[in-house]
A and B are shown apart, each in its own frame.
Chain A
Amino acid sequence: MGALAAAIAVGLAALGAGLGNGMIVSRTVEGIARQPELRGPLQTTMFIGVALVEAIPIFAVVIAFMVMGQ
């Protein structure tokens, strides 16, 4: 049951992160393609967005390995 719990935790978190990252990346590509001179600010916003989105799957991986290790 521990492996199942770990798989569900990581899988759902990665699903959410994938959707979030996809939205961030698509908007950034759109923005830089329209106005290449705004690359710096857009990259900074993308950096912070990707970092925040990936917090949850990282915690999910940690919790999954803790569950499997017990």
Chain B
Amino acid sequence: MQYDNMITRQRKWMFYLLAVIVLGAGLTPYPRIFLGLLLGASLSFYNLWLMQRKIKQFGQAIVENRSAKGIGSFTRLATAALAVLIALRFEEHFHLMAVIIGLVAYYFVIMMDFALFRSRD
């Protein structure tokens, strides 16, 4: 199914991105920036996973004529708040701007995936 293929690809891209960031944190002389990116991208991955799961459950509920239980918007906003709170509390370890850039990593993944595979599916 088109949707299942898309979520598998997006998770794969996020894993690649996280692997590159971990390498950057370990091997480059800028651990604070890469740790911030890692924190943001990890919570971004959680947001992506939650959105994929909730929308799949939502579609299933419509097809089976059940009532759907929301699409998890509030949880995603709370995740963003958690990332900023951690970055502000442990400022010596995490660069705040890097956390924010990491937090929007899943938009890049979604847009890249949409642009690259739009014609194939």
Interface positions of A (Cβ within 8 A of B)? 10, 14, 17-18, 21, 25, 28-29, 32-33, 36, 39-44, 46-48, 50-52, 54-55, 57-58, 61-62, 65-66, 69
Contact = CB atoms under 8 A, between A and B. Distances in A.
Contact of A61 (B59, B81, B106): B81
A5 B56 CA distance: 36
Nearest to A13: B77
Main secondary structure of the interface of A (DSSP, over half): helix
B63 A36 contact: yes
Interface residues of B, number: 32
B85 A65 contact: yes
Interface in B70-121: 71, 73, 76-77, 80-81, 83-85, 88, 96, 100, 103-104, 106-107, 110, 114, 121
A25 to B, nearest CB: 7
Given A62-B80, A62-B84, A44 B62 contact: no
B59 A32 contact: yes
Given A21-B71, A69-B88, A51 B106 contact: yes
Interface stretch (B1-9, B16-24, B28-36): B1-9
A51 B51 contact: yes
Given A47-B52, A51-B51, A21 B73 contact: yes
B96 A44 contact: no
